A = this chain, B = another copy of it.
Amino acid sequence: MKPELLEHFANGYPKRDYTIEIVNPEFTSVCPITGLPDFGTITIRYEPDKSCIELKSLKYYFLEFRNAGIFYENITNRILDDLVSLLQPRSLSVKTEWKARGGITETVSVSYSAS
């Protein structure tokens, strides 16, 4: 993964609490055990403080997972870590919803709060 790909821009309304939700239904990575691709939807929801995530850089950051072998739980927590580290937001959550494998689906949800 390359968190250095992520870019941010200055929040134009830093005195106000508000929420930004970003949904990427076209996420794909690789199962580290079988080597077969996984497909999922990533939802990021955060309250910006001084910085907002730049969408295009987020897209390129997501692309680095395309051929990486990594577990659902680790993807979810790592995206949270990278974004919190970059944005220092008031709060931030990541939810990853995965297409069925063997008839079974999994969703992983993790939240961060500055307070």
Residues in A lying within 8 Å of B, measured CB to CB: 11-13, 16-26, 28, 36-37, 39, 52, 55-56, 58-59, 63, 66-67, 71, 73-74, 76-77, 99-111
Find the B residue at minimum CB distance from A26. Answer: B103
Tallying the copies of this chain within the complex gives: 10
Q: Are A106 and B55 in contact (CB under 8 A)?
A: yes
Contact pick for A24, options B71, B73, B104, CB 8 Å = B104
A interface: dominant SS = strand
With a cutoff of 8 Å between Cβ atoms, the chain B residues found around residue A67 in the complex are 66-67
A56–chain B nearest beta-carbon distance, Å: 7
The answer to whether A109 and B18 touch (CB under 8 A), given A55-B104, A74-B12, A103-B99, is yes
